[in-house]
Structure 1
Amino acid sequence: MSRVRHDRLDCSPGCAVEAALQFIDGKWKGVILYHLLDGTLRFNEIRRRLPGVTPRMLTNQLRELEADGFLARKVFAEVPPKVEYSLTGRGRSLEPVIAALKAWGDAHADFAPKPYADAAA
């Protein structure tokens, strides 16, 4: 299912924020971008860093990030196939945003809500 994108960003004061968040929405996109800040990674290297993601979900998230211009995907003609992912200039431009999110998360992780299973206990 494709996402609805803004054609114009002048609809309201928060509209640009909403539009920006649409690019990195998804459970894994922000984390994928964070790990790619370290450099180029292969599919299984990304997967090892995200143990909770399924291969299908990771593929979908990588495809969306590539379609939005945040990732470059390089396929090598060899057997087995080798595919590398790296940030484009547009993806690299998110570095201060991702760093700020990480810093905020580090400072506030102790205040995260408890999962429902723990709350019932």
Structure 2
Amino acid sequence: MNADKTRERREAVEKFDAAARQSYMAAVDRAFEVQKSGAKLSRTFFENWVQTLEEGVEINRRALEDLQNIAAEQREVFYNLSRESLGAYEGFVGSLDAYEARISENRETADKP
């Protein structure tokens, strides 16, 4: 009878040992799955972050290009405006010369008897 109890105890201990090993292996497997899932989540996060940065760079590049185009257009407009202003000023000075010449002519004709 003593041998039967010893055998039963040994079988119970072996079953308990097997169950404990299975539980430990399941916990280790689950820990590795959680670790892989965390790594995948981190990778996805950083890939999205890099993509967002790249999109931001592209937006900034386009904005800078647009600003350069606007500056070139404004430079052309100011250049044309300056040329027109110079032309108007030269015309004004020319009209003053013509006015002065006319006045001089009128004085000369008025001074002649």
- Work out whether the TM-score is over 0.5: no
Q: Flag the structure with more relative contact order, 1 or 2, with Cα contacts below 8 A and sequence separation at least 6.
A: 1
Relative to its length, the structure with more helix (as a share) is: 2
Relative to its length, the structure with more strand (as a share) is: 1
